[in-house]
Amino acid sequence: MAAAAHHDDHAHHGPPKGIVRWLTTTNHKDIGTLYLVFSLLMFFVGGGLAFMIRAELFQPGLQLLNPVVFNEMTTMHALIMIFGAVMPATVGLANWMIPMQIGAADMALPRMNLFSFWLLVAGSLLLLSTFLMPGGAPAGGWTMYPPLVLQTGESFPFAIFAIHLMGASSIMGAINVIVTIVNMRAPGMTLLKMPLFTWSWLITAYLLIAVMPVFAGAVTMLLTDRFFDTSFFTASGGGDPVLFQHLFWFFGHPEVYIMILPAFGIVSEVIPTFSRKPIFGYEAMVYAIASIAFLSFIVWAHHMFVVGMPLAGQMFFMLATMLIAVPTGVKIFNWTATMWRGSLTFEPPMLFALAFLFLFTIGGFSGLMLAIVPADFQYHDTYFVVAHFHYVLVPGSVFALMAAVYYWLPKWTGHMYDMRLAKAHFWLSAVFVNVLFFPQHFLGLAGMPRRIPDYAAQFADWNMVSSIGAFGFGLSQLLFVWVIVKCVRGGERATAGVWDWPHGLEWTVPSPAPYHTFEKAPEIH
């Protein structure tokens, strides 16, 4: 994507040349590109850690990693994938697409935009540097439960500070998105005319501002508990370790919606385009996102049923959690209804969106199973949970992100990409992701605990299948990179509309999108 911008140097005041452009840019498209490239890089770093996890689990016994290093792998895999890959990728898309979707010239706060990207880089590098520290990287799980996490070695304060930096970065990104959407819409672009991707990000941004600081506070308490003799979570000083779990999941549950709502927005753009029909029930889609966001604040304790809580609490959190299935069901229904009697074609973005629809729903159903308190007692901390959240995150969020890249890539680069290779990438990913994660349901139901480097022999077969799926899925992503690189370097010229049934302002500007768009607000009908 980087080279793409060279084509539009003829714009009346183009960017500076070379590396300086990328270090100093405040252009929303450049920053979007930086975010996307960086998140792809982190996707491979996090994927590399997953590769090592699955290699160790390929067969029972300890082969490659000692248990502490294994725990570092699981912890860092989660932190990097969440804070370094998925969230920055959605922010990158927001930077690129939101101004173009609402007819704004740029993001509202371009310098803060620049700052938040470089904070993310600093935070990620700091997090990665913990691998080199005495005592190793954090190994207590990404949920960082005390008192275990307090046993982290020298890297403990660095990991916390890295989280502070990445959290501050995403809060700034969120503020920028809200100000842009609220203040910069072209005249006539009323809230209920906004594309659903923009809508999903507006709500995501509010979630980020509401919960990210709570998380920052909770990890700060961990820091003071360890170094400044406070006792927020230490029982000996009158604290309560369970309090941390409440604080963490008060952040953690909205956090999973922060990763999925933009994916909902993407799918709501892609499915209408390739069904050649407007989205079914636009307003219902908006209200569904808003209700999911609201419900995300009152279900956190379903992550911690086993710590013990009164029956009334268990009932409340169980039923509130199940309630989320209602707005989510509305969305699934509306996407399906959009396709009903549509004129469907199956270009790569549509393939990924359809796989999302199908596989995310599987993840949703296993989520419903986990919501049932007595069942959760059985499934808690097993591979069933691992299967569940990977189904909603990988064929959920990540597939939607890939759909977005394949959807907008011609707009970014000005070239059509290699459809055959992209479809090959889709089919390889779709098959291997199921080989990878579906057997983990069986492992979990059979009782295999998560976060262990070794396991009983009875789990051997499905673990081997899962590992083969992991290697296949990981290697398939190299094809993704190749399709992108090839598309950036050249290809068939893309038209302004790119697709047969383009819908929305971003398709009214030429491809590649000029360095500056909508300096004069477009007319909205």
Partner 1 sequence: MSDSPRGNRGLAARLVLMAAGSFAFGFALVPLYDVFCEVTGVGNRAALSEAREATDLVPDAARTVTVEFTATVPAGGWLLEPEAPTLEVHPGQLYEARFRARSLSGRETTGQAVPSISPVRAAQYFVKTECFCFTPQKFAANEERELAVRFVVDKGLPTNIDRLTLSYAFYDVDRAGKS
d(CA 476, CA 79): 23
Q: Is 415 left (phi over 0), alpha (psi -120 to 50) or beta?
A: beta
Count of CA atoms in the C-beta half-sphere (13 A) of 485: 7
Nearer to partner 1, 146 or 396 (CB): 146
Q: Would you say 162 and 124 are in contact if contact means Cβ atoms under 8 Å apart?
A: yes
6 is catalytic: no
317 binds partner 1 (CB under 8 A): no
Of 247, 293, 299, 351, the one binding partner 1 (CB under 8 A) is 247
- The active-site residue out of 201, 249, 257, 515 is 257
Q: CA–CA separation, 351 vs 20, rounded Å?
A: 38
By the rule CB under 8 A, 150 interacts with partner 1? yes
Choose between 18 and 236: whose C-beta lies nearer to partner 1: 236
Q: Is the CB of 212 or the CB of 357 nearer to partner 1?
A: 212
Least CB distance from residue 222 to partner 1, whole Å?
Answer: 11
503: left (phi over 0), alpha (psi -120 to 50) or beta: beta
Give the nearer residue to partner 1 in terms of CB position, either 176 or 413. Answer: 176
Binding mask 370-399 for partner 1 (x = CB under 8 A): ------------------------------
Per the structure block, which two tokens stand in for 210?
A: 């509401």
Any contact of residue 229 with partner 1 (CB under 8 A)? Answer: yes
Residue 425: active-site member: no
Q: Does 216 bind partner 1 (CB under 8 A)?
A: yes
DSSP string, 357-383: HHHHHHHHHHHHHHHSHHHHHHHTTBH
Q: Assess 68 for contact with partner 1 (CB under 8 A).
A: no
Least distance to partner 1 from the beta carbon of 230, Å? Answer: 6
**Two tokens, residue 60:** 């029972």
Compute the least distance from the CB of residue 218 to partner 1, in Å.
6
Q: Kindly state whether residue 298 participates in binding partner 1, applying the rule CB under 8 A.
A: no
Please check whether residue 433 is in contact with residue 473, taking contact to mean a CB–CB distance below 8 angstroms.
Answer: yes
What's the min distance (Å) between Cβ of 327 and partner 1? 23
18 vs 308, which CB is nearer to partner 1? 308
Pair 270, 353: CB distance under 8 Å: yes
Residues 92-121 within binding reach of partner 1 (CB under 8 A): 104, 108-109, 112
> CA dist 96 to 17, 34, 455, 487, Å?
20, 10, 45, 17
Closest distance of CB 296 from partner 1, Å: 14
Positions 180 through 209 that interact with partner 1 (CB under 8 A): 182-187, 209
Burial class for 497, CB neighbours closer than 10 Å (0-12, 13-18, 19+) = middle
Find the catalytic residue in 164, 303, 390, 415. Answer: 303
Continuous segment of H or E residues that includes residue 264: helix 241-275
331 is catalytic: yes
Determine, following the binding rule CB under 8 A, whether residue 175 of this chain makes contact with partner 1.
Answer: yes
Residues facing 415 on adjacent strands: 493
Catalytic, 201? Answer: no
In the complex, what is the shortest distance from the CB of residue 211 to partner 1, in angstroms, rounded to a whole number?
7
Looking at beta carbons only, is 246 or 276 nearer to partner 1? 246
Question: Is residue 525 annotated as a catalytic residue, yes or no?
Answer: no
Q: Which two tokens stand for residue 522?
A: 């477009």
What is the spatial distance between Cα 365 and Cα 342, in angstroms, rounded to a whole number?
A: 27
Examine residue 309 and tell whether it contacts partner 1 (CB under 8 A). Answer: yes
- 268 labelled catalytic: yes
Q: Should residue 430 be labelled a site residue for partner 1 when binding is judged by CB under 8 A?
A: no
**One-character DSSP codes across 377-407:** HHHTTBHHHHHHHHHHIIIIIIHHHHHHHHH
Residue 303 as a binder of partner 1 (CB under 8 A): the answer is no
Beta bridge partners of 493: 415
Binding status of residue 147 toward partner 1 by CB under 8 A:
yes
Identify which of residues 251 and 280 has a Cβ nearer to partner 1 in the complex.
251
Picking from 281, 284, 293, the residue whose alpha carbon sits closest to that of residue 208 is 293
Q: Does the active-site annotation cover 302?
A: yes
Active-site choice (29, 77, 388, 390): 77
Would you count residue 211 as binding partner 1 (CB under 8 A)?
yes
The distance of closest approach from Cβ of residue 214 to partner 1 in the complex, given in angstroms and rounded to an integer, is 4
516 assigned to active site: no
For residue 250, the minimal CB distance to partner 1 (Å) is 7
100 CB-side CA count, 13 A: 28
Closest CB to partner 1 among 233 and 455? 233
Task: Catalogue the E-assigned strands of 135-251.
Answer: none
d(CA 237, CA 231): 5
DSSP codes of every residue in 178-208 = HHHHHH-PPTT--GGGS-HHHHHHHHHHHHH
Q: Strands (DSSP E) along 50-182, which ranges?
A: none
**Lookup: tokens for 86:** 């998925």
Which lies closer to partner 1 via its Cβ, residue 174 or residue 355? 174
- Work out whether 236 is an interface residue with partner 1 (CB under 8 A): yes
Give the long-range contacts of residues 311-320, CB within 8 A, separation 24 or more.
314/373, 315/373, 318/371, 318/372, 318/373, 320/295
Residues with active-site annotation:
77, 106, 142, 169-170, 253, 255, 257, 268, 302-303, 328, 331, 450
Interface residues with partner 1 (CB under 8 A) are 104, 108-109, 112, 147, 150-151, 171, 174-176, 178-179, 182-187, 209-218, 221, 225-226, 229-232, 234-237, 240, 243, 246-247, 250, 308-310, 313
